[in-house]
């Protein structure tokens, strides 16, 4: 419970649900998730993140999109899948950069700073995830705000929120144990 309070408090005033109020940033970081659920049904978390990223870009609140996600096997590649859907939605491919080693939110935030050289970002995910990402980013020297994609209700939403509660506890374990991203890699400039 204390982990929840600390993360919510630290993100206060830094997440935005309206395009008019979100500040401009050069780069928006869309946090990866699978396109489909294990049942084969579309994953609404995914769809809503795509919608949010497209609306941010088209309203000129961001100039580039960094897609950060899991690319753990030959058969599962969140960054490439998201990139394809962003292009289908009208985002020019030269405005999209891929972070193939965003296995966890911690990896995504640290790599945005250390690999992609960013000092400020707009994180694109659901509000609860944005709050955690902002907290991690700030602890790692990256200034972040969040643009909130629509949330999901019902049973699948409940399961994700329960998992989020545990992920927030893990944030503090990671910080105390100085957990690092699985990979760093060569510097990539977004421009």
* Percentage of the chain exceeding pLDDT 70: 98
How does pLDDT run across 129-167, given as a tens digit for each residue? 999 999 999 999 999 999 999 998 877 667 777 788 778
DSSP, res 95: G
User: What's residue 107's pLDDT?
Assistant: 96
Which whole number is the average pLDDT over 165-177? 87
Confidence at residue 36, expressed as pLDDT on a 0 to 100 scale: 92
Please report, for the chain, the start and end positions of each structural domain, with discontinuous segments joined by +. 2-176
Average pLDDT over residues 116-120: 97
Q: Which CA distances in Å does 59 have to 88, 127, 143?
A: 17, 20, 21
Mean pLDDT of 113-133: 97
Decide which of 4 and 158 is more confident.
4
- The whole-chain average pLDDT of the chain stands at 93
Q: Is 47 helix (H, G, I), strand (E, B) or coil?
A: helix
Reported pTM: 0.93
Q: Which residues contact 32 (CB under 8 A, 6 or more apart)?
A: 67, 68, 69, 70, 78, 79, 82, 102, 108
Mean pLDDT, to the nearest integer, of 169-188? Answer: 89
Whether the predicted pLDDT of 71 surpasses 90: no
pLDDT tens profile 37-56: 888 899 999 999 999 999 99
pLDDT at 157: 67
- The predicted-structure confidence for 94-109, as pLDDT tens digits, reads as follows 999 999 999 999 999 9
What is the CATH number that goes with domain 2-176? 3.40.50.620
Torsional sign, CA 153, 103, 114, 46:
negative
At residue 164, the pLDDT reads: 82
Cβ–Cβ contacts within 10 Å for residue 69, how many?
Answer: 26
């Amino acid at each position: 419970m204390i982990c929840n309070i600390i993360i919510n408090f630290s993100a206060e005033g830094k997440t935005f649900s309206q395009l008019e109020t979100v500040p401009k940033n050069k780069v928006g970081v869309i946090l990866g998730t699978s396109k489909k659920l294990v049942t084969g049904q579309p994953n609404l978390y995914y769809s809503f993140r795509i919608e949010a990223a497209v609306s941010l870009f088209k309203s000129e609140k961001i100039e580039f999109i960094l897609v950060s996600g899991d690319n753990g096997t030959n058969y599962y590649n969140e960054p490439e899948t998201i990139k394809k859907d962003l292009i289908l939605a009208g985002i020019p491919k030269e405005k999209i950069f891929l972070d193939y080693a965003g296995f966890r939110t911690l990896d995504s935030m640290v790599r945005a700073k250390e690999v992609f050289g960013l000092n400020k970002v707009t994180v694109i995910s659901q509000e609860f995830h944005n709050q955690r990402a902002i907290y991690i980013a700030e602890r790692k020297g990256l200034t972040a705000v969040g643009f909130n994609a629509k949330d999901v209700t019902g049973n699948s939403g409940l399961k994700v929120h329960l998992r989020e509660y545990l992920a927030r506890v893990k944030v503090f374990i990671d910080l105390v144990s100085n957990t690092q991203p699985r990979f760093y890699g060569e510097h990539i400039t977004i421009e």
